[in-house]
Chains A and B, each alone.
Chain A
Amino acid sequence: MKWFDYQAPRTVGEAVEAMTLHPTARALAGGTDLLVQMRAGRRTPDLIVDIKKIPELNELRYEPGAGLTLGAAVPCYRIYNDAAVSRAYPSLAEVANIIGGTQIQGRASIGGNLCNAAPSADAIPLLIALGATCRVTGPNGERTMAVSDFCTAPGQNSLEAGELLVSIHLPETPAGGGARYLRFIPRNEMDIAVAGAGVAVVLENGHIQSARIALSAVAPTPLPVDASALAGLAPDEGALRKAGEIAAAAAKPITDMRGTADYRRHLCSVLTRRALASAIAAAKETK
């Protein structure tokens, strides 16, 4: 690895100052993507800013009615070991438990998964489906943006020079709400999605009041899908079929070593359909 300096600031302000002074600086949370990329020479920062000593980036707080604040450096294991999060957002707890293996989950964060902006990132489609927003702080102050707008290209995000992702916010799950992320990998664990689908649904009076879908590994970025056509439908076989069709039509997959474009499109249909069925089942329980 090329030489770099290391700082571990205690406040967001100090981190932003360091990252502003060093435009090539990278924030280090779990390092499970960043250090691999640096060792391969794909990223060559002159400064690593370890953000794990900053209290706000370690915050994991669920407030009934207000939702979940998930600090950008909170490692996966804290999410699925948190009883309140597992109750209020079981789909998020499940995603935190399928990223890497035990060792990776001890370090890797959902914030890092988002900043790494891989098309195949497992957490991002679910965050988009759940309507998550990000709190970003930089030299020009603070801003809030939708997770669906955060990734711009493979490995690229919309953070400006000196900006830091502080936390992710998930709104409260509405009554009648349910969500699920499903992916296809050829193994049982420790693999990169060939395709994945995150789905959130809200049921009202026996019908789908609203649904959100986002896909992984079938576009240059995690892909939000317009699912407005599902609103008003009964949560039955017809709605599942429709959701699968919408997802397959929206996907823009490529052919590579993990799968062909046709296969990925087919997976989008199957995974979206199954994820919606599972989200509907979860929604019926939250009523």
Chain B
Amino acid sequence: MERKVHVQTTINGEAAEFLCEPRQSLLECLREILSLTGTKEGCNDGNCGACTVTMDGRIVTSCLVLGVEAQGSEITTIEGVARGNELHPLQKAFLEEAALQCGICTPGFIVAAKTLLDQEPHPTEERIRWWLANNLCRCTGYDKIVKAVQKAAAEVNQ
């Protein structure tokens, strides 16, 4: 029988619940049901990383997670990165280093990079590049993104 599923989860630190079809991806649930449109859809098959969110502390491409799988888990999206009006050092560094142009990939890069800095405060450039290999950017050529992450790492560690 075609019935929607009631999902209870935690999003950006707050309890959240929604009704979804089992076939809806977490990305669709975030954007279309919960109106959290900061998370972007790029390729919709796991290659580009634009839809990156964290699920129980690990980064995932939310296009390859079913919304129903969020039951009981903790999700963080780009909307949960800043503290109120205070941008996260990564967000500031992306602006200051002009690490974006069209901006579609940016939420995914910031969520992915934040998870790296949360667990490894001093990543090497090589480590940053490998960690972000699942995030594609067709505008910047990556150098500015890597510099922004390095700059944010230095600030986080001050």
Residues of A within 8 A of B (CB): 1-6, 8, 28, 30-32, 35-36, 39, 48, 50, 52, 77, 100-104, 106-107, 188-190
Q: Would A106 and B64 count as touching, CB distance under 8 A?
A: no
The residue among B2, B23, B44, B135 with the most chain A CB atoms within 10 A of its own CB is: B23
Q: Would A35 and B134 count as touching, CB distance under 8 A?
A: no
Q: Would A1 and B23 count as touching, CB distance under 8 A?
A: yes
Q: Which of B65-73, B74-82, B91-99 touches A? A: B65-73
Q: Would B23 and A3 count as touching, CB distance under 8 A?
A: yes
Residues of B within 8 A of A (CB): 2, 5, 21-23, 25, 44-47, 49, 52, 55, 58-61, 63-66, 68-69, 71, 112, 130-135
Q: Would B134 and A32 count as touching, CB distance under 8 A?
A: no
Q: Would B49 and A4 count as touching, CB distance under 8 A?
A: no
Q: A101: nearest residue on chain B (CB-CB)? A: B134
- Which A residues are CB-close (under 8 A) to B22? 3-6, 48
- Which B residues are CB-close (under 8 A) to A2? 23
Q: B25: nearest residue on chain A (CB-CB)? A: A35
Q: B5: nearest residue on chain A (CB-CB)? A: A6
Q: Would A104 and B134 count as touching, CB distance under 8 A?
A: yes
Q: Would A32 and B23 count as touching, CB distance under 8 A?
A: no
A169 smallest CB distance to B (angstroms): 26
Label chain A's interface by main secondary structure: loop
**What separation, in Å, do the CA atoms of A1 and B64 have in the docked complex?**
12
- Which B residues are CB-close (under 8 A) to A103? 46, 49, 52, 59-61, 112, 134
A176 smallest CB distance to B (angstroms): 32
Known interface pairs A1-B23, A32-B46. Does A189 touch B60 (Cβ–Cβ under 8 Å)? Answer: no
Q: A40: nearest residue on chain B (CB-CB)? A: B45
Known interface pairs A36-B45, A102-B112, A106-B58. Does A31 touch B23 (Cβ–Cβ under 8 Å)? Answer: no
A258 smallest CB distance to B (angstroms): 16
Q: A47: nearest residue on chain B (CB-CB)? A: B22
Q: Would B58 and A39 count as touching, CB distance under 8 A?
A: no
Q: Would A190 and B47 count as touching, CB distance under 8 A?
A: yes
**What separation, in Å, do the CA atoms of A2 and B49 have in the docked complex?**
24
Q: A187: nearest residue on chain B (CB-CB)? A: B133
The residue among B25, B46, B55, B63 with the most chain A CB atoms within 10 A of its own CB is: B46
A127 smallest CB distance to B (angstroms): 23
- Which A residues are CB-close (under 8 A) to B2? 3
Closest 3 CB pairs of A and B: A101-B134, A6-B22, A106-B58
B142 smallest CB distance to A (angstroms): 12
Q: B53: nearest residue on chain A (CB-CB)? A: A103
The residue among B2, B44, B68 with the most chain A CB atoms within 10 A of its own CB is: B68
**What separation, in Å, do the CA atoms of A39 and B135 have in the docked complex?**
21
**What separation, in Å, do the CA atoms of A283 and B9 have in the docked complex?**
48
Q: B131: nearest residue on chain A (CB-CB)? A: A102
Q: Would A106 and B66 count as touching, CB distance under 8 A?
A: no
Q: Would A48 and B66 count as touching, CB distance under 8 A?
A: yes
